[in-house]
């Protein structure tokens, strides 16, 4: 008998919903017991979300944040995947580029804010640039690791079938490395969603990050602050769930273990 059997279908929904209900109850009664006038109760946050929706701000801010993440993350994927595949395919080039990349990679994207403002000014481009930087290195590293970990027998088999180097990379190495690349993309998307919030607090006047800082400064509307925080968390979860769905694609499903 397998002690690690998967939970029943109803359990996958019941237990998370029960945990959510317990969290909301703890939140509500903590506010009641402490009699705080600063931190809002769940009902107050729900009213804040409704207020934002009625004013047409909620979906506008969500759309702005998602657009910036889409632009920055898309640019990072468009640059990072070919770059990572190239560095993984040519170890000599990787050996030259790796010291520079390893020097730049640990620098927090937020440390680039002054440089980005000098280069692009305060605005949309700065936010997108910071998101691009935050997502680029995880994608490149995942691609290099994915290509490097492809078994040598796969390459030899491709050469035996007469594949040219470009065909070997496209038809053998890339599909074999795809599961690891997808993991890198998933990590990069999570980082990009974190960075957009910080970038919007500084560089732009819309988005969920801007809502957090604006609600705090304009009348200390902590109900709207927490509402924005919850929206950030819910959307981040939704993006992660959507990316995990890629594991069900037939061409990459074999490369994943059965885990979340």
Quick: pLDDT tens for 127-182.
999 999 999 999 999 999 999 888 888 888 888 888 787 888 888 888 888 888 99
Q: Looking at residue 62, what is its pLDDT?
A: 93
Tell me the whole-structure pTM to 2 decimals: 0.84
Answer yes or no: is 182 within a domain: yes
**In which residue ranges of the chain is pLDDT below 50?**
1-3, 256-260
3-state class (DSSP) for residue 81: helix
Q: Which residues contact 127 (CB under 8 A, 6 or more apart)?
A: 68, 72, 196, 199, 200, 203, 204, 207
Q: Looking at residue 249, what is its pLDDT?
A: 66
Answer yes or no: is 64 within a domain: yes
What CATH number does residue 84 fall under? Answer: 1.10.3720.10
Buried b (16+ CB within 10 A) or exposed e, 111-145: ebbeebbeebeeebebbbbbbbbbbbbbbbbbbbb
Q: Which domain holds residue 149?
A: 39-253
Answer yes or no: is 192 within a domain: yes
Rounded-to-integer distance, Cα 256 and Cα 260, Å: 10
Q: Which helix (H) or strand (E) holds 66?
A: helix 58-89
């Amino acid at each position: 008998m397998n002690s690690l059997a998967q939970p029943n279908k109803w359990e996958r929904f019941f237990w998370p919903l029960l945990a959510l209900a317990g969290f909301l109850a703890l939140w509500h009664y903590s506010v009641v017991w402490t009699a705080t006038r600063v931190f809002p109760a769940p009902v107050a946050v729900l009213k804040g979300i409704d207020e934002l929706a009625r004013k047409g701000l909620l979906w506008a801010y969500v759309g702005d944040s998602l657009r910036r993440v889409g632009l920055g993350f898309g640019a990072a994927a468009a640059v990072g995947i070919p770059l990572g595949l190239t560095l993984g395919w040519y170890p000599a080039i990787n050996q030259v580029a790796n010291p520079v990349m390893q020097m730049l990679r640990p620098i927090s994207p937020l440390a680039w804010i002054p440089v980005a403002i000098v280069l692009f000014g305060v605005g949309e481009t700065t936010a997108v640039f910071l998101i691009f930087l935050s997502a680029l290195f995880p994608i490149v590293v995942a691609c290099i690791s994915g290509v490097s970990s492809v078994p040598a027998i796969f390459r030899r088999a491709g050469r035996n079938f007469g594949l040219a180097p470009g065909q070997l990379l496209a038809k053998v190495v890339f599909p074999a490395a795809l599961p690891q690349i997808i993991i890198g993309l998933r990590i990069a998307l999570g980082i990009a969603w974190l960075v957009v919030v910080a970038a919007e607090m500084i560089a732009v006047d819309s988005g969920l990050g801007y809502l957090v800082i604006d609600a705090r400064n304009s009348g200390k509307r902590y109900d709207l602050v927490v509402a924005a925080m919850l929206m950030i968390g819910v959307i981040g979860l939704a993006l992660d769930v959507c990316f995990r769905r890629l594991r069900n694609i037939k061409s990459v499903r074999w490369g994943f273990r059965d885990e979340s």
